[in-house]
Amino acid sequence: MDKGINLIDDVSIVLCGEAGQGIQTVEHLMIQTLKLSGYNVFSSQEYMSRIRGGNNSTSIRISSKKVSAPVNRIDILIPFGKGALTHVRKRLSPDTLIIGEEKSFKDENQGHRSINVPISEIAVKVGGAIYSNTIASALMLRLFDVDIELFSNYLRKRFAGKDESIIQKNIDAAEQGYALSDELLKGNGIHVNIQRSSQVTNEIIMDGVEALALGAIAGGCDFISFYPMSPSTGIATTLAQYSKQFGIIVEQAEDEISAMNMVIGAWYAGARALASTSGGGFALMVEALSLAGMIESPVVIHLAQRPAPATGLPTRTEQGDLFFALFSGHGEFPRAIFTPGDIEEIFYLTQNAFNLADKYQIPVFILTDQYILESHHNISSLDPYRIKPERYITKTDKDYKRYKITENGISPRGIPGYGDGLVIVDSDEHDEEGHITEDMDVRTNMVNKRLKKLDLISQEVLSPELIGNPDYKTLIIAYGSNYNVVKEALANIGSDDVAFLHYKQVYPLHPSTVDYLKKAKKTIIVENNATSLFAKLIKMQTGKSIDRSILKYNGMPFFVEELEAKLKENIM
């Protein structure tokens, strides 16, 4: 290969191989150690819905500036087996450098520059093929001048609890990887020039799963019921790790029907409960959602979107469940929907969701997707005390009425055993005390009482965030996980006439939306679905149409360069 490769400011490394080959291990070893060395990092995954076989890839960005969005570009590809090059063929360019064992990719290589590194051979000498992942990590870390002692210390921490011989063999593997990197990578003139920051060293790396689980803890969550379904399962397993420390009950129910009813029962008893699922699982929860609407029970639902209908693409990403969250359940009852756009928003909006559900006795949705849940990047910090848990439980007296008609529609919520009153709830229409009724006037009053709460919720809906020139001509609109990719794409375009409006709460829709739309000469919306659901919601609520839609629904998130090109086409 030609010598003199300089990778400056922003490097994209892709790891690709079969499920079970340890790609995620390499990802975690690299991003954690790079962060400790002062590098800004971002990683995202795409993988097939199988335990073994197929091909998956993990993309890692290392940059001189904060990065939190994926790029299509591959500067360095590390294939872990046959089929890797074919799997990422569309992302390869003449500038892509392939580093790995030539035997695994030579039949697929169509003239790309490559360096043959005998990773497996060295791993066997160290102690077995299992150490290949440490060697592969060390190859890259040495290229970024990560101190071997820092990596060794991280290996000791990561494998703490393992036999000392295993820890030492991993350290030996790291040293071998460093030596290989000096000989085969740096020796071939590959140099990286990315700025480090001492501030980054003290930051934390987190993905959306961890952020949501920790946000739930900070929000006072003490009960979660679930049935496993990707990509939501990690929320429950993460909360299980903290269950003893924070007094959280984690219940894997026999199905999603039971899970949702358990959550409603937990709120009735005074807990702060979370239901976490994906679209197919939420389909089974919908009847219980209506129960929550009728008995005015607080409920927090984490709905982790993936491509549908039916099983769809169970390990990919999409924003296809907005209307499902908005219109699910028979009958009319209020709700709120949060759509966090980054790690920080996931954490704080989850806290907010528990307070809002508790205050207004309504279902509150946290709408995420596979991409944002399973992407990592470094952040400065999170403040668990910024939003304090707010409890709205009333000590009952002997004349307590669970559904007392009030001016604002919010009845005092009691719980069994707290006070002298009897707390009656019923799925049938009921009177103020909670007893079943078929009185038509009572029915009308109860419906009006429940719907009044929507007016109150609308008064404290979170404002959308405007990024860019307030005197814009073109307005880009997006919600949820497209936040960071839109920001970076627009920063690259650098037009003063364009601004970006990000929604972290899509329902109720903030009233300022109308003014933002009126001001724009052209509006463009970015969504990961096929029919521009948010654009339809905006028109439904404001009467105003969005001029153009940029949509992607193949199961992958938008890449920065891809969105940048599409925005340029639509802005001109």
pLDDT of residue 503 exceeding 80:
yes
Q: How many CA atoms lie within 13 A of 81 on its CB side?
A: 15
Among candidates 149, 197, 198, 196, which has minimal Cα distance to 171? 149
**Mutual angle of helices 148-158 and 132-143, in 10-degree steps:** 150
pTM of the model: 0.96
Which ranges of 461-512 does DSSP label H, i.e. alpha helix?
483-493
DSSP three-state, residue 281: helix
Chain centroid to Cα 361, Å, comes to 26
The domain spans of the chain are 5-202, 206-379, 465-571
- Specify the pLDDT at position 54: 82
Residue 5 pLDDT class (50, 70, 90 cuts): confident
DSSP three-state, residue 299: strand
One-letter identity of residue 224 = I
Residue 1 pLDDT class (50, 70, 90 cuts): very low
What is the dotted CATH code of the domain comprising 5-202?
Answer: 3.40.920.10
Asked whether this chain's domains 5-202 and 465-571 adopt the same fold, the reply is: no
Please identify which residue in the block is written with the tokens 């924003």.
Answer: 319
Give the class (CATH, top level) of 465-571.
alpha beta
In the chain, what percentage of residues exceed pLDDT 90? 92
- Specify the pLDDT at position 19: 81
- Specify the pLDDT at position 77: 96
Neighbours of 268 (CB within 10 A): 18
Averaged over 189-206, what is the pLDDT? 94
Among candidates 339, 342, 213, which has minimal Cα distance to 276? 213
- What is the DSSP pairing of strand 97-100 with strand 498-503? unpaired
One-letter identity of residue 350 = T
Among candidates 342, 329, 254, which has minimal Cα distance to 299? 329
Query: How many whole angstroms separate alpha carbon 243 and alpha carbon 258?
Result: 21
- Specify the pLDDT at position 4: 60
Q: What is the pLDDT of residues 538-548, one digit of tens each?
A: 999 999 999 99
Q: What is the pLDDT of residues 117-155, one digit of tens each?
A: 999 999 999 999 999 999 999 999 999 999 999 999 999
- Specify the pLDDT at position 3: 52
Averaged over 206-212, what is the pLDDT? 98
- Specify the pLDDT at position 57: 95
Q: What is the pLDDT of residues 451-492, one digit of tens each?
A: 999 999 999 999 999 999 999 999 999 999 999 999 999 999
Q: What is the pLDDT of residues 231-256, one digit of tens each?
A: 999 999 999 999 999 999 999 999 99
Query: How many whole angstroms separate alpha carbon 503 and alpha carbon 479?
Result: 5
The one-character DSSP state at 181 is I
Among candidates 365, 341, 322, 279, which has minimal Cα distance to 541? 322
**Residue 509 structure tokens:** 């829709």
Length, in residues, of the chain: 572
Q: What is the pLDDT of residues 403-437, one digit of tens each?
A: 999 999 999 999 999 999 999 999 999 999 999 99
Correct CATH for 206-379 of 3.40.50.150, 3.30.70.20, 3.40.50.970, 3.30.420.40: 3.40.50.970
Residue 62 pLDDT class (50, 70, 90 cuts): very high
Please identify which residue in the block is written with the tokens 């990773």.
Answer: 119
